Structure 1
Amino acid sequence: MKLSLVSCFILLFLQTTVFANIIDLKGKVVDAKTNQPLIGAVINVPDLRISVATNTNGEFTLRNAPARGRYVLQVTYVSYKTFTQTVDFASTTPLVFAMQPSIIETHEVVITGTPITAGSRFNSTSATVVTKDQLMGSSTNLIDALAKQVPGVSQITTGPGISKPVIRGLSYNRVVTLNDGIKQQGQQWGDEHGIEMDQFQAGRVEVLRGAASLQYGSDALGGVINVIDPTIPSSGNIQGEVIQNYSTNNGQSNSSVMLTGNQNGFVWRGRGTYQNAFAFGTPAGRYINSGFNQSNASAMLGVNKTWGYSHLNFSYFNNNVGFYDAEPGDPLYTDSKSRTLDFPNQNIRHYKVALNNNFIFGTSSLKLDLGYQKNQRKEFEATNDPSLFFDLNTYSIDAKYYLPETNGWKPVIGVSGSIGHSINLGEELLIPAYDERTAGAFIYAKRTWEKSTFSAGARFDYVKNVGKAQQVDGEEVFPGFDNHFSNVSAALGYTYVFNDVLSFKANAGSAFRAPNPAELGSNGVHEGTNRYEIGNANLAPERSYQADATLEYGSGFVTGSLGIYENYIHNYIYASNTNAEQITREDEETGEQKSYDVYRYGQVNANLYGFEGNLTLHPVPFIHVENTFTYTQAQNRTFDRPLALIPAGVVHNTLRFEPKVKGVTDFYFYTGIDNFFKQSRVDATFETPTNAYTLLNAGIGATFKIGSQPLKLYVSGYNLTNKKYYDALNRLRPGRYSQEDPTFGVYNPGRNITFGVYLPFGTNK
């Protein structure tokens, strides 16, 4: 069967290669006011994964481009509004892109993480694009960077080394992280590890807020984080970068090197990254054994031809992080800056191979993404023999066929599936060995009438989870389970562009999430969270019904957006400790009896609603007053009390200066204030409230030219006043895992100053 499928794709590949018509698509980029050519403007075609820069006459040539088809082109140039346009490659009309000078960023960016690539104004999904420059700064990881900049995004943290994304109050298996077209499968149910991804590999990140289950199936109730690799240079060119930074709080040192090239359509890329940190500091001291080290390597080989592209991606992630198995009353802080991890600690390894393809058939195309992932998570208590050892292997396929446009409608049909197999290789047990099978199919269509764009779609999903029964010393640990779930979901979207500065978008639809094996079958001590977890094999799938609306505005003086949303989730799954239930187990290392809080998985009906937005003022060209705000309220409707693990409302305020300074480019300095509100809406059965707090931040940076070589230097500081505080999503804060001693808890990190160097290089033929 596998050989037959491969043979079919090879046959399609050969037929398309032989019979495809090709053109050299030519055009010019000019200043809209002066009509002067813009040298070095970048033209990018996301769906073809090709880009090219303009020459000294402002002209460009996309060589060996498909002779037919409509594609979104994105044109970018420093100090100009990003320009996007859908171009018919069969047209003989000369392409001339007239760009408008601007002191601001535009809302009109290309979004690729939705079923049909489009500019953001014509895409109903609430989305934010974060560039590579924005990802560099005082953030300690990728999710930390997004949480500080994107409205509606927060993070569940275990110190600076571990962050899990939260979108509109939803996290864990309700948020999908995507890279190389493949859903990241890294046992997302776990509290004590982040996403298994190199934070420096992203060329940019798209954050899609709201249900994206129509395209990505189960798990995308809250949204999607789409990590997009850097663009490939035009033929005959090589590009690269060196990144180095150092953070004072925990001595975190990051080093990353990347090189990529394109030779007549043969494309390649390689990257290596190493990170190392000692225990992070709080205003009360350094949290014991919270250091980490991480090694990442990735590579890509592929071809970009007239028939489309085919890219083979490899990545390796290796993370070692310490954790502290503290009891209430134990000391929490140390003066040690040792980079050697003590016990207990954990090791996470993630291997991924992805084959990304886009086959073009005239005015239609087929996107095919194949993936294999191996995720290994080990916990070490007192020796180098793992006590817990999860080994998960996942095979996946995702195919989308883009039919020819008919009467203005752009239809897409898609299928996806995955096979997951997890086994336990350690002595201690938490979840059973399991097999998971998923399959799904969707149909989606979109049409634009003048200023209005309408989209609609439907999807069917099937998920099967089989947990293996297991006994230890004649005692049943896992009874086993065999669960089947299916669902039909639907979505509607609408956008209206009033004019060049004002647009409106709205969405309504349903989504679905099947219970994961941890929720279904847990039965054991989870050392990383210091609690005893008990699953429920009778859990039903979550079903979400949600709607949102966003108004976006962007002029020369003011840019901003305001969005509201509501999400009702039937059979919402979460673990809680009720009635202070505890269980006593013998510690295998010491033989002592130890008590653990018991967390049982159950279901309620939940309602989440809130608002998010941003407002940026530009009183003069070199001053930017940037503000973002987010608030989510979540209610456990079944028991009429607040839902647990919901972020506090926050307002980020930044005053940014970008004066012209002779001898340097992109000079800036900023100061910011982050206001986090009190979170009193907590599940009082096992959570405690957190107080409001304010953080002071600042930074400065510039790009220098050494000959023709640019060199970017920057310094950024976070929590400069060394404020002592607990964040509502800090897993180490008081009351999260101990009701006996409410003073047990670890403050969030204190003052952190990051010094960074960014060195891009390459040819520009």
Structure 2
Amino acid sequence: MKSLIVSLSFSLIFFSASAQMGLIKGFVKSKNAPAENITVKISGINRSVKTDVFGYYQIENVPYGRYEVSVSGVGYLFQKQKAEVKADILILEIELKETESNLDDVVITGVNRATQLRKSPVPIAVLSKKTMDQNVSTNLIEAIVKGVPGVTAVTTGPNVSKPFIRGLGYNRVLTLYDGLRQEGQQWGDEHGIEVDEYGISRAEVVKGPASLTYGSDALAGVINMIPFSPDFENGELKGDVTMNYQTNNGMIGSSVGLGYVKNDWKYSFRATGKTAHSYYNKIDGLVYGTAFREYNLSASARVDKKWGFSKTSATYYDNLMEIPDGSRDSLSRKFTRQVLDDGDNIKNRPIVPEDELNTYKINPLHQHIQHIRLYNASQFKFGNSDLNLLIGGQQSIRREFNHPTLAKQAGLYVVLNTLNYDLKYNLPDFSGIESTIGINGMYQGNRSKNATDFPIPDYNLFDAGVFYFAKKTFGKVDVSGGVRMDRRNMKWKDFYVGNNPETNFGKKVNAGTPGANLQFPSFSKNYYGFSGSVGLTYNISQKLLIKANIARGYRAPNITEIGSNGLDPGAHIVYLGNRAFKPEFNLQEDIGIIAYLKDVDISLELFNNNIQNYIYQSRLTDASGNPVVIVPGNLTYQYQQSKARLYGAEMSINLHPVNLKWLTFNNSLAYVVGLNKNETLLAKHGKSARYLPFIPPLQIRTELKATAQSNIGIFNKPYVKVDAAIFADQNRFYALDNTETFTGGYTLLNAGIGSAVQDKSGKTLFDIFIQCDNILNKAYQSNLNRLKYFEYYASAPNGHSGIYNMGRNISFKVIVPF
């Protein structure tokens, strides 16, 4: 027996020594240019590497034999080919084809490493710059809303859009700029996302809890806005000039972008300016207080080496926006303006002169938002693994000027400083499992400066979370999931407010100051969250797949929900928070089916979302049911917390007949119901408290587009399209204390044409886009338009209440490359 064991041992040693091993190496290219960061994977032995900046790859210690090599990368068609290793070295050169289809596109958002869109069980949508250019928008979120079913926005005029995903918004939607989480004053209703819309080349939207990757504030999903990056020949300097004019509010936008590539370095720069006067609709005329002026600057430098890459970027955002309050003359319904602080009577204000309604000059009652961002993103490659590090610093400055007799005195003046950190390590593949571990979070401090109103205290926040994510393919089934643990600390010291004798307004004072009032007693609390997800994609065939995912999300209460106790001047609301609030947790189930057929793409996604400790706003009333007025002329809202459930569906049917290549007919539907599950509230108030606030109605979008398949004179493949946005009645609203009211349905008809214009040599001179929104000049109010509730009279002579949305708007956009 002993001799047999010895013989077997020697046989195994001999077999191992004699096993022949080879090396596979080569070059991946596309259009005769090297393709970097392409994944080359050998099936059977589960070995994979990524190409370097020069397109080269190398896989060592491959046993002799026959294999299937799969190749995938950002923006390229997925490719497989056979290979046989029967010598020391096998050289395999691969040519990839680019794709504009979302079928095999690659996304980074909401997952932890490059993932084919078809393999991700999480619902993800991708919006290209080309699509955004073909629609009218005054801000980036508005463009995303028009292009992605299930995404809506709460608006306060044309330049303020706060994204909602499947009925959830504010701090539940995490917005990213180039992967860096956006940190401003997200709790405020009256300012939007601090991003240059002309500088974004692509937007990715994750629908559903993405807390696994980002921690708190991604309960509803993630929107990642990816800026332009130079991708052309070495030594070239290229750029573009964008000019945009919109007729309704006279918006003038212009932007200049530059890109330069030199050896291993890529540089980019962009400068943008936009300005607009008050917008118009046929019910209200020109809406006073909706003019804005915006400036943006951005620059980046990236170096690519064999060890990885490093990119450093900086952005500056500066926005002046007027503050509408909706005050009017009771008989003529013309807008009036505040001219007094003491003694102001909202029913006895002077009417705004006509020349001040269509001026580009910003009126004294406005807000000034500034945002500065500096960050570095780096990747370090270690053979079959890589380390990704993102460090960013941001400063958000928000001032609201609401004192007509002292125009330079800010009513609200807060400065938020944030340091973000994000470290991810993509481990080497093990038994076909791709996995990632990481830690990320932030530290921030918010401080009030020389202001008169203090809706929130000065606070400090520290956030940290660790996670593990893995994915594996079992034949036709792709499985992925992970777990995460978070801790957030929120604290502030005693905050006192007193009277400023020089202005007779309030000011921040020390504890011992005579007449000091303790507005915010000290507070410190830790919030903990456990989140996770698991999902799968079943590829029935290359053209048909089913996705299913279940995820638990987490969100800590934000500063206004637990700490607010004062007037937010720009919102015209006194907010009252609750220190006892618990973190929100949700459990969401998603299931979807997607078919990519010869003449049509079809997708259907269903979701069910149960939320514990859901936080929402509700108007405050006294025992008699009358509105509580703490500051005259301003509403009072108190935050509530209860169980909630949201469920719904999204469907799209996009026709692209093979025999009619010039024609596309795209259709989408989005539907969500939000139920308030507070049994005590329902028992007392019944149907008026049954639904959640800010839930969008059923909406259908349809677009018929014809695109020439060849040039027509100087026009390169011009297109013409017509589309409609159909919104149903919203009779499922939070009616308690008139927090919300019924919103009637409406249909908006739109149309557009566009083309690249070329010279005789075929060189593009410029691209032109002409789009008309609301062709029929429909008078309507969106249920997510906050201006709908800016009304001071119980009834009006013309039978209309609140402010209406924008009327007909024609946009002319020209992009000149150079």
Does structure 2 conserve the Cα–Cα contact (< 8 Å) formed by 1:321 and 1:346? yes
Per-residue deviation, 1:584 = 4.5
Per-residue deviation, 1:65 = 4.6
Deviations 1:491-544 (A, max 9, x none): 001001111211111110201000011111111111222121111111110011
* Residue 683 (structure 2) pairs with residue 666 (structure 1): no
Could you say which residue in structure 1 is the equivalent of 2:414? 390
Give the AA of the match of 1:623. Answer: L
Could you say which residue in structure 2 is the equivalent of 1:26? 27
- Alpha-carbon distance in structure 1 between the residues aligned to 2:245 and 2:207: 32
Could you say which residue in structure 2 is the equivalent of 1:4? none
Deviations 1:339-378 (A, max 9, x none): 0111310000000001100111111100000010000000
* Residue 547 (structure 2) pairs with residue 505 (structure 1): yes
Per-residue deviation, 1:96 = 3.2
Matched ranges for 1:668-683 at <5 A? 668-683=719-734
Matched ranges for 1:116-155 at <5 A? 116-136=113-133, 137-155=135-153
Deviations 1:408-428 (A, max 9, x none): 001100001211100001122
- Alpha-carbon distance in structure 2 between the residues aligned to 1:477 and 1:111: 46
Could you say which residue in structure 2 is the equivalent of 1:568? 610
Could you say which residue in structure 1 is the equivalent of 2:781? 726
Per-residue deviation, 1:668 = 0.4
* Residue 107 (structure 2) pairs with residue 107 (structure 1): no
Per-residue deviation, 1:629 = 1.0
Could you say which residue in structure 1 is the equivalent of 2:763? 709
- Alpha-carbon distance in structure 2 between the residues aligned to 1:129 and 1:501: 19
- Alpha-carbon distance in structure 2 between the residues aligned to 1:348 and 1:246: 23
Which stretch shows the higher mean deviation, 63-72 or 674-683?
63-72
- Alpha-carbon distance in structure 2 between the residues aligned to 1:542 and 1:585: 29
Could you say which residue in structure 1 is the equivalent of 2:7? none
Deviations 1:176-231 (A, max 9, x none): 11113210001111100001111111111111111111001100011100111223
Could you say which residue in structure 2 is the equivalent of 1:519? 561
Deviations 1:22-62 (A, max 9, x none): x9953465xxxxxxxxx5899564899xxxxxxxxxxx995
- Alpha-carbon distance in structure 1 between the residues aligned to 2:801 and 2:560: 27
Does structure 2 conserve the Cα–Cα contact (< 8 Å) formed by 1:437 and 1:464? yes
- Alpha-carbon distance in structure 2 between the residues aligned to 1:42 and 1:509: 39
Helix, strand or coil at the partner of 2:204: strand
Q: Unaligned stretches of 5+ in structure 1?
A: 1-22, 30-38, 49-59, 77-81, 587-593
Could you say which residue in structure 2 is the equivalent of 1:55? none
- Alpha-carbon distance in structure 2 between the residues aligned to 1:118 and 1:199: 26
- Alpha-carbon distance in structure 2 between the residues aligned to 1:248 and 1:509: 45
Does structure 1 conserve the Cα–Cα contact (< 8 Å) formed by 2:629 and 2:636? no
Matched ranges for 1:8-23 at <5 A? none
Matched ranges for 1:243-642 at <5 A? 243-284=242-283, 285-327=285-327, 331=333, 333=335, 335=354, 336-381=357-402, 382=404, 383-425=407-449, 426-472=451-497, 473-579=515-621, 582-584=627-629, 594-619=632-657, 620-638=660-678, 639-640=681-682, 641-642=690-691
Could you say which residue in structure 2 is the equivalent of 1:18? none
- Alpha-carbon distance in structure 1 between the residues aligned to 2:517 and 2:82: 68
- Alpha-carbon distance in structure 1 between the residues aligned to 2:415 and 2:221: 27
- Alpha-carbon distance in structure 1 between the residues aligned to 2:400 and 2:307: 47
- Alpha-carbon distance in structure 2 between the residues aligned to 1:324 and 1:502: 50
Per-residue deviation, 1:276 = 0.5
- Residues 536 and 167 of structure 1: is their aligned pair in 2 closer, same or farther, counting only changes over 3 Å? same
Per-residue deviation, 1:108 = 2.2
Does structure 2 conserve the Cα–Cα contact (< 8 Å) formed by 1:363 and 1:403? yes
- Alpha-carbon distance in structure 1 between the residues aligned to 2:455 and 2:718: 52
* Residue 133 (structure 2) pairs with residue 84 (structure 1): no
- Alpha-carbon distance in structure 2 between the residues aligned to 1:43 and 1:665: 28
Could you say which residue in structure 1 is the equivalent of 2:176? 178
Could you say which residue in structure 1 is the equivalent of 2:96? 97
Does structure 2 conserve the Cα–Cα contact (< 8 Å) formed by 1:467 and 1:517? no
Does structure 2 conserve the Cα–Cα contact (< 8 Å) formed by 1:392 and 1:421? yes
Which stretch shows the higher mean deviation, 120-129 or 335-344?
335-344
Per-residue deviation, 1:480 = 2.7
Give the AA of the match of 2:126. Answer: V
Could you say which residue in structure 2 is the equivalent of 1:63? 54
- Alpha-carbon distance in structure 2 between the residues aligned to 1:86 and 1:438: 43
Per-residue deviation, 1:254 = 1.1
Which stretch shows the higher mean deviation, 391-400 or 83-92?
83-92
Give the AA of the match of 1:108. Answer: D
- Alpha-carbon distance in structure 2 between the residues aligned to 1:477 and 1:496: 56
- Residues 293 and 98 of structure 1: is their aligned pair in 2 closer, same or farther, counting only changes over 3 Å? closer
Give the AA of the match of 2:145. Answer: A
Give the TM-score normalised by the residue count of structure 1: 0.88
Give the AA of the match of 2:773. Answer: Y
Per-residue deviation, 1:72 = 6.9
Q: Give the aligned CA root-mean-square deviation in angstroms.
A: 2.7
Give the AA of the match of 2:695. Answer: I
Deviations 1:581-606 (A, max 9, x none): 545556xxxxxxx2432101120111
Of structures 1 and 2, the larger Rg is shown by: 2
Helix, strand or coil at the partner of 1:551: strand
Does structure 2 conserve the Cα–Cα contact (< 8 Å) formed by 1:106 and 1:554? no
Does structure 2 conserve the Cα–Cα contact (< 8 Å) formed by 1:73 and 1:87? no
* Residue 808 (structure 2) pairs with residue 751 (structure 1): yes
* Residue 244 (structure 2) pairs with residue 194 (structure 1): no
Give the AA of the match of 1:466. Answer: K
- Alpha-carbon distance in structure 2 between the residues aligned to 1:121 and 1:428: 50
- Residues 369 and 106 of structure 1: is their aligned pair in 2 closer, same or farther, counting only changes over 3 Å? closer
Give the AA of the match of 2:130. Answer: D
- Residues 359 and 679 of structure 1: is their aligned pair in 2 closer, same or farther, counting only changes over 3 Å? same
- Alpha-carbon distance in structure 2 between the residues aligned to 1:99 and 1:235: 17
Does structure 1 conserve the Cα–Cα contact (< 8 Å) formed by 2:35 and 2:54? no
Helix, strand or coil at the partner of 2:197: coil
Per-residue deviation, 1:324 = 2.0
Give the AA of the match of 1:662. Answer: I
Report how many residues are paired: 704
Q: Unaligned stretches of 5+ in structure 2?
A: 1-23, 41-50, 61-68, 84-88, 336-351, 498-514, 683-689
- Alpha-carbon distance in structure 1 between the residues aligned to 2:386 and 2:460: 33
Could you say which residue in structure 1 is the equivalent of 2:504? none
Give the share of equivalent positions with the same residue, in percent. Answer: 34
Which stretch shows the higher mean deviation, 319-328 or 197-206?
319-328
- Alpha-carbon distance in structure 1 between the residues aligned to 2:467 and 2:173: 19
- Alpha-carbon distance in structure 1 between the residues aligned to 2:620 and 2:81: 59
- Alpha-carbon distance in structure 2 between the residues aligned to 1:539 and 1:361: 45
Give the AA of the match of 2:804. Answer: Y
- Alpha-carbon distance in structure 2 between the residues aligned to 1:166 and 1:71: 38
